[in-house]
Amino acid sequence: MSRAPRIVIVGGVAGGASAAARARRLSEEAEIILLERGPQVSFANCGLPYHLGGVIPERSSLLVQTPERLRARFALDVRVRSEVTAIDPGRRSLNVKNLETGESYQQSYDALVLSPGAAPIRPPLPGIDDPRVFTLRNLEDMDGILAALPSEGQGRVLIVGAGYIGLELAESFRHRGLEVCLLERLPHVLGVADADMVAPLQAELRRNGVDLRLGISATAFGGCGDQLLVRLEGGESLSCDLAILCVGVRPETRLAQEAGLALGSTGGILVDDQMRTSDPHIFAVGDAIEVRDFVSEAPALIPLAGPANRQGRIAAEVILGRDSRYKGTQGTAVCKVFNLTFAMTGMTEAALQRRGMSFRKIYIYPPQHATYYPGAQPMSLKLLFEPDLGRILGAQAVGPEGVDKRIDVLAVAQRAGLTVLDLEDLELCYAPPFGSAKDPINMAGFVAANVLRGDVDLWEPEELSSLAGSQLLLDVRSPAENANGSIPEATCIPVDTLRARLAELPRDKEILVFCQVGLRGYLAARILAQHGYRVRNLSGGYRRYQQWQATHIIR
């Protein structure tokens, strides 16, 4: 371009606002126009549930940037309450409607960045348009919910969908003293995670007074005096003051479709690794686009703020001549549920199975810091990796503290191409209040490396339903631990007496060993293997068995 480019950005928040700010930092000459349909161009939508719960008391705290501050600091032409109704790619022009005046005008561009986001799904159910049935996407939605909430400590809120937002809202409304009923059509909360890793979240929700109902959906909404009546599958009805739908989001692609831009197989706007759409002058970022999954390299929809920010930055850099490229989305995320934290990165076991990808998995339950320092509490960590090379495929963790730190380390290791063997060698912070000399990341590496090197074979709780006469369950914990609960039909021989009692074990049977969390079982497996026994250990031990059992019993 001989003159400075005119860059028009449609949509603010994470992707659009990042693109605008980055473009200005790279070029003082570029004309940058930011069009936003709503009244605010940059706000913390991830903070909306916490303002609803009163944890973030001031609404103004959610305003990341105001139009006035963006104009002053970045010399941007910010136009709020401006809706783009059509794109003419041939003329490189937009039709813009001023929602304040109702007037429309044409706006030309040299480069266009689409950041329309994703809209909450409202299923076509009877009564879904009742004004007491809400979704939560922006500040206006939040204001409407606040206005409809009953007085502190009174009333009932129904939340449909137990994803990240549904879980955060459940905690927030309980924080306000309201009764909360949380419906989830799946058999477990947080459908993006594996069932065995979210059982603690389900127990935590119920422990804090949430009426959690799994495997059930709402089928209709209707009036009942001043109460909203919600009909459930099976015929039961619930009354509440308001309901909030948290059943997922759908990429906003209408503008792109009508402009003839290609969509991907997932329904998101198709872009290359430079965020360019099928039109070379139009870019797209954020929740509306189809991304490449970092692990499987398959197309995916992963609506997260961090990736949207990076995509906006990349689009601006490419428009202004830099060779920047997006390297895929891992899906790294974290969620607070009362006193527990859940975090994950990469693919889950369920996702790997759906794609037919080979994997191995291990479970550990380490404390978040040294056990001799007060307040040590265990976390649950699941690590998935390739069976041959040990490439990290995914990880999930849940616990009271230290979970986000460990998943962040694993996310970095995954993006850097490290294997589980490399985790053994990571040098991480250690002082008694913060960790252990062998950090949980190192421990996960040790356990996974043992599997990879063939030092131990593992068995899974699912095998218990098909135990053969040629197998024997061996509990190597203490008699007291065994008496407090064990896997049915298991023989108990503590690991410290195992060498002296080898004669009690049949050599013609495979020994399936377990302990409390896996370590003593591993030691027993090494002893038995070196004495000629066929043996496998249960990764995660009896704790893992209980966790697995909970996913089959708790509903």
Distances (CA, A) of 437 to 249, 377, 429, 517: 43, 16, 8, 19
Q: Nearest-CA neighbor of 21 among 278, 255, 348, 320?
A: 320
Residue 347: which of 326, 331, 334 has the closest Cα? 331
What average pLDDT does this structure show over 415-427?
A: 97
Q: Does residue 358 carry a pLDDT above 90?
A: yes
| pLDDT at position 1 | 46
Query: C-alpha distances in angstroms, 17 versus 23, 56, 255?
Result: 10, 23, 19
Q: How far apart are CA 71 and CA 491, in angstroms?
A: 73
Which strands, in side-by-side order, build the sheet including 333-337? Answer: 333-337, 340-346, 392-399, 380-385, 360-364
Tell whether the torsion through CA atoms of 111, 117, 122 and 124 is positive or negative.
Answer: positive
Mean pLDDT over residues 204-219, rounded? Answer: 97
Which CA distances in Å does 1 have to 74, 257, 321? Answer: 22, 27, 10
pLDDT tens per residue, range 125-163 = 999 999 999 999 999 999 999 999 987 668 999 999 999
* Range 350-367 average pLDDT: 97
How far apart CA 295 and CA 113 sit, in angstroms, is 27
Q: How far is CA 165 from CA 46, 290, 415, 422, in A?
A: 9, 21, 26, 35
Residue 2's pLDDT is 58
Structure tokens at 146: 């606040």
Flag whether pLDDT at 555 surpasses 70: no
For residue 498, the cross-strand partners are none
Neighbours of 418 (CB within 10 A): 18
**Strand residues in 268-400 grouped as ranges (E):** 282-284, 291-292, 299-300, 333-337, 340-346, 360-364, 380-385, 392-399
Q: What number is the average pLDDT over the span 368-396? A: 95
Task: Compute the average pLDDT of residues 389-418.
Answer: 97
Q: Distance between CA atoms of 446 and 297, rounded to whole angstroms?
A: 28
Mean pLDDT value of segment 506-530: 97
Q: Which two tokens stand for residue 429?
A: 């912070």
Calpha distance 363→381 (Å, rounded): 6
Q: How confident is the model at residue 551 (pLDDT cuts 50, 70, 90)?
A: confident
**13: confidence class by pLDDT, cuts 50, 70, 90:** confident
| Whole-number Å distance between alpha carbons of 231 and 223 | 11
Mean per-residue pLDDT, 105-123: 96
| pLDDT value of position 534 | 97
> Which pLDDT band holds residue 82 (cuts at 50, 70, 90)?
very high
**Burial class of 116 by CB neighbour count within 10 A (0 to 12, 13 to 18, 19+):** buried
Instruction: Examine the pLDDT at 351 and tell me if it is beyond 90.
Output: yes
For residue 553, what pLDDT is reported?
53
Q: Mean of the pLDDT values across residues 179-193?
A: 96
> What's the average model confidence in pLDDT over 47-52?
93
Report the distance separating Cα 171 and Cα 345, nearest Å: 23
Q: CB count, 10 Å around CB of 304?
A: 18
Could you give the angle at which helices 67-74 and 13-26 cross, rounded to 10 degrees?
20
Q: Please state the rounded mean pLDDT for residues 78-100.
A: 96
Cβ-based neighbours of 530, under 8 Å, separated by 6 or more? none
How many Cα neighbours within 13 Å face the side chain of 342?
23
- Cα separation, 509 vs 535, in Å, equals 9
Residue 554: per-residue pLDDT: 40
Angle at 390 (CA atoms; ends 388, 394), nearest 5 degrees = 125
Please state, in angstroms and rounded to a whole number, the distance separating the CA atoms of residues 448 and 387: 10
Please tell me which of 34-38, 61-65, 418-422 the model is most confident about, judged by mean pLDDT.
418-422
The arithmetic mean of pLDDT across residues 182-198, rounded, is: 96
Neighbours of 474 (CB within 10 A): 27
Q: Look up residue 367 and give its DSSP letter.
A: B
Name the residues annotated as catalytic.
46
- Per-position DSSP letters for 217-254, written without gaps between them: -EEEEEEETTEEEEEETTS-EEEESEEEE-S-EEE--H
Its pTM surpasses 0.85: yes
> Residue 220 above 90 pLDDT?
yes
Express each pLDDT in 165-178 by its tens digit.
999 999 999 999 99
Strands (E) located in 246-391: 249-251, 282-284, 291-292, 299-300, 333-337, 340-346, 360-364, 380-385
Q: How far apart are alpha carbons 379 and 366 in whole angstroms?
A: 6
Mean pLDDT of 419-444: 96
